[in-house]
A and B are shown apart, each in its own frame.
Chain A
Amino acid sequence: MVVFENVSMTYPGGEMRAIDDMSFTIDDGEFVFLVGPSGSGKTSVIKLITGEVMAESGVLNVNGFDLRHIRRRKLPLMRRTIGVIFQDFRLIEDMTVYDNVAFAMHIVGASNRQIRQRVPYVLDLVGLSGRERRYPREVSGGEKQRVAVARAIVNSPRLLIADEPTGNLDPALSLELMLLMDSINNSGEGTTVLVVTHEKEMVNSFSKRVIAIEDGQVISDGMDGYYSYEIQ
């Protein structure tokens, strides 16, 4: 669950507020698109949720963690309840596909046995069976993104965030990835999914909740599944 209540944030040295009195709530199990033009504050919302930056006012709660008052040493615990997929994949180049996924399990203290069981299962789920021993440089862009998805979901996070996940993929792979996210959302674990994007057709075709933001403020929040906001 994500709760933003009158949240404001200014980057150090910045003059304008990147997030200005923003409020919205995402319940457990929801699938939400966060849309808006460049510079609207989409990435800032993600950074606030992942604890990369701190809000200066308001209430910010993620999966039960009060991020306005969280201690720095507790941040890793909060982050383990979230899976993040980045546009640029952010894979560790020196690790194989298998190790890129496995290290996320090592972080949460999983046993070697658990890792040996879970990683092949998740890689199979995202269609990467047989690619385990390859390095990121040896797989395609679509496969890299699927490795990032596998890493994000391997610890069964309560919240899955995808920051422009289809930005580097062709339309067919983009659709495939979104269907995968949808299936994760509909799985028994009921993972909450927040997708940041500006791909209008994609958003419109999925009939999900859409939160549109501009200048750090929510300008529309509808369940009609329609990307009514025009990118400027």
Chain B
Amino acid sequence: MRSSKIGYLTKEGFKSILTHGFMSFASVTIIVACLVIMGSFSLIAVNIGSLLDEVESQTEVVAYVEETLSDEQARALQPEIEYISNVQSCEFVPRQTAMEEYASLFDDQLFQDVGSEILRDRYVIHLADISLTRQTQADLESIIGVAYVRADLQVAEALVGVRNVLSGVSLILVVVLVLVSVFIMANTVKLATYSRRDEIVIMKMVGASNWFIRFPFVVEGLVLGLLGGAMAFILEWGIYDVVAEKIMSGFMGNLIHVIPFSSVSAVVMLIYMGVGLAVGVFGSSIAIRNYLEV
């Protein structure tokens, strides 16, 4: 392919953006609107997920050691506990430390005459996946030297339930929004190319090959798609920062932590540019396909 031809066709693509200004504007607006709506829902889902992660990470399982085991024997159980695949971390808490913690929670006087021997040595365990709490509890109880295991199964199951519902709802919402967006974007591109079907037929009759006709459309789609992606990213950033600021400065700021946009910006930008580019290029290629069959 001659470089002059590529240059000509690329120029035609750019020229067409300006010539069909209204359709270009409409296409970019639709891409921006769809991306921002989709992205906002996804970011809400990501924040809720992160919030649940935080809550889950604070959920503890405590394994109490047999009273008959010496301090050394109790500490020796750690590798066995860590060997369980769902155990993310475990910390040995000797009975003296446990007593000090109790004493600090209550009135010191209350524990003045009580020795730490009334308590057991214990392991405070954090799990990798709290939906497997029941199974992990059983695994821990099967270790010789572990007297019993305290796991708040109701809290764990409630959290798992909340996560499942939220994951399902956000997945359905994102899928529906993606489908609606793709439908709207495809129709916008179709409308843009429909208005130029005569142009395509004329080119075909003059002997233009399919790629000759398609190339400027693809250039146009690529530029508008990237432009839409970039504008959606900037808009999303602005909206996110404003909403995050409102949440953090309000009464909910103490309860929830909003992920800073900077920590997801690279991924968001990549997705927006990628989706914009794909919609622009594939949308325009597919939309003109029907008119090329002349």
Contact = CB atoms under 8 A, between A and B. Distances in A.
Interface of A: 50, 52, 73, 76-80, 82, 84, 90-92, 94, 103-104, 106-109, 111-112, 151
A176 B177 CA distance: 61
B85 interface: no
Contacts of B100: none
B5 A73 contact: no
Interface string B1-22: 0101100110000001001100
Interface stretch (B103-111, B158-166, B207-215): B207-215
A90 B5 contact: no
B212 A107 contact: yes
A79 B206 contact: yes
Contact of A108 (B19, B202, B207): B207
Contacts of A107: 203, 206-209, 212
Nearest to A88: B198
Interface centre among B198, B201, B202, B203 (most CB of A within 10 A): B202
Contacts of A78: 207
Contact of B8 (A73, A76, A94, A106): A106
The 7 closest A-B pairs by CB, nearest first: A79-B207, A80-B207, A76-B209, A94-B19, A107-B208, A76-B207, A104-B206
Interface of B: 2, 4-5, 8-9, 16, 19-20, 198-199, 201-210, 212, 294
Contacts of A84: 205-206
Contacts of A92: 199, 202
25 contacts: A50-B205, A52-B294, A73-B209, A76-B204, A76-B212, A79-B204, A80-B206, A80-B207, A82-B207, A94-B16, A94-B20, A94-B199, A103-B203, A104-B207, A106-B5, A106-B9, A106-B212, A107-B207, A107-B208, A107-B209, A107-B212, A109-B2, A109-B5, A112-B4, A151-B206
A33 B275 CA distance: 55
A147 B204 CA distance: 18
Contacts of B210: 73
A229 B210 CA distance: 41
Contacts of B8: 106, 112
B208 A76 contact: yes
Contacts of B20: 94
Contacts of A79: 204-207
Contacts of A111: 2, 4
A50 B201 CA distance: 12
A90 B205 contact: yes
A189 B242 CA distance: 72
A115 to B, nearest CB: 9
Contacts of B203: 103, 107
A230 to B, nearest CB: 32
A73 B292 CA distance: 11
A80 B209 CA distance: 10
Contacts of A103: 203, 206
A77 B209 CA distance: 8
A94 B20 CA distance: 9
A66 B163 CA distance: 66
Given A52-B294, A106-B8, A77 B207 contact: yes
Given A77-B207, A107-B212, 6 more contacts: A52-B205, A73-B209, A76-B204, A76-B208, A103-B203, A107-B208
